[in-house]
Amino acid sequence: MAAKGIAFLFPGQGSQTVGMGADIYEQSPAARQVFERADQALGMALSTLCFQGPEEQLRETINAQPAIVTVSLALLAALQERLASHFSWSSPLTPTFTAGHSVGEYAALVAAGALDLEDAVRLVRERGRLMHHEGSVCPGGMAAVIGLDEATLQEICQEASQEATREGAAAQSHPDHPGWGKVSVANLNAPGQIVISGEQRALALAMERAKARGAKRVIPLAVSGAFHSPVMEPAAAGLAQALATTPLRHAAIPIISNIEARPLTEAEALRQELARQIVAPVQWVRSVEYLATAGVSVYLEIGPGSVLTGLVKRIARDATTLTISNANELDKAVTALREQGLLQL
């Protein structure tokens, strides 16, 4: 059953929480199979980590990323199973588009038929390992800036990067790393909500400048590195090597690119997207704007948390947003989808 005007959205890192997926594992055979396949692919009890923690271990980038993707896909499997008493990623409810925020893009690729579950969780675990490593080699972080526009923040990041580089040169402290002394815009999440990312000194300078230029709030994020910034250049090269040996197919459903905010379906374009994505800014505002222009009116977030539906509401105010982050919300979403006329069941 094709559902006109609906997009599946999958959340990114930061949405993880201990206990996620436990109820859907108990209630849905299809969801249980997703967890079992992920555990087997990784050679570890990822499901136990999702259900029981400990939180410190689940929060580690190398674990959080495959955990979020697995829970998202388990919830999707449970939804499709509920609608048809069998399991298929894109049937009987077939979205017009899929999209994911950062690591959520891997779940979007699986949902669109471009990537197998096992390959997806192995890739995101390697992605997490590479990203964490660069965070230790070139320490940095991320901060959410509330109340400044993109142009102002781009200018602030450029000034802070120049100042950090000058300070390093004066102190004869300039490590041989492509991200050293650099900070940049990382996530354009919603109007007035932009995340910056970079090497620790450059980030600190940018945060100070943002406050001085009138930011309402500047909030450091609890992450282990400067994701979606030049600090991740070596990680992107390592990820490209892993992607080169991973089977990728043309997507049966268009996937909205994090980098370009336009639909991608060709395997090679998707491969390049995934490699560069960890360095480039996440264009979430433009992605949702594209979806709205393309006729999407219903946005279904599938995965732990509800961050993306909140962002969608700030970008496309007339949109209908639904969330499936647990078994209870699955029941509510099915009812709402019927009311929207998207299900003939």
Of 102, 224, 229, 287, the active-site residue reads 102
Sign of the torsion angle spanned by Cα atoms 289, 294, 295, 298 = negative
Q: Is 345 a domain residue?
A: no
Answer with the one of 224, 252, 270 that is the final residue of a domain: 224
The answer on 174 and 89 residing in a single domain is no
Angstrom distance (rounded) from CA 297 to CA 35: 31
For residue 278, is it within any domain?
yes
Whether 219 and 309 share a structural domain: no
Residue 218 lies in a domain: yes
Does 228 participate in catalysis according to the annotation? yes
Taking the C-alpha atoms of residue 343 and residue 182, their distance in angstroms, rounded to an integer, is 49
Residue 280 and residue 246 share a domain: yes
The verdict on residue 104 lying in a domain is yes
Same domain, 283 and 312: yes
Say if 219 falls within a structural domain: yes
Q: Which of 132, 224, 228, 287 is catalytic?
A: 228
Phi, psi at residue 88, to the nearest 5°? -155, 140
Domain CATH number, residue 239:
3.40.366.10
133 catalytic residue (yes or no)? no
Residue-level pLDDT at 87: 78
Residue 85 included in any domain: yes
Residues 90 and 204 placed together within one structural domain of the fold: no
Report whether 202 contacts 181 (CB < 8 A): yes
344 falls within a domain: no
Backbone angles phi, psi at 279, to 5 degrees: -100, -35
- Tell me if 7 sits within 8 A of 299, measured CB to CB: yes
Question: What CA–CA distance (Å, rounded) separates 158 from 38?
Answer: 41
CATH number, domain containing residue 150: 3.30.70.250
Task: Indicate the number of domains in the chain.
Answer: 2
One domain for residues 130 and 247: yes
Is residue 272 in some structural domain? yes
Asked which of 198, 224, 250 is the last residue of a domain, the reply is 224
Are 258 and 273 in a shared domain?
yes
* Predicted confidence pLDDT, tens digits, the chain (345 residues): 444 599 999 999 989 999 999 999 999 999 999 999 999 999 999 999 999 999 999 999 999 999 999 999 999 999 999 998 777 898 899 999 999 999 999 999 999 999 999 999 999 999 999 999 999 999 999 999 999 999 999 999 999 999 999 887 666 565 789 999 999 999 999 999 999 999 999 999 999 999 999 999 999 998 889 999 999 999 999 999 999 999 999 999 999 999 999 999 999 999 999 999 999 999 999 999 999 999 999 999 999 999 999 999 999 999 999 999 999 999 999 999 988 888 754
Residues 114 and 257 in one domain: yes
Among all chains, which residue has been given the structure tokens 């230029």?
213
Considering the domain architecture, whether residues 252 and 109 belong to the same structural domain is answered as yes
End-to-end, the C-alpha distance of the chain in Å comes to 10
Quote the pLDDT of residue 345.
47
Residue 111 structural domain: 6-134+233-339
**What does the pLDDT read at residue 344?**
58
Q: What is the pLDDT of residue 59?
A: 93
Total residues belonging to the chain: 345
Same domain, yes or no: 17 and 125? yes
Of 197, 224, 251, the one marking the end of a domain is 224
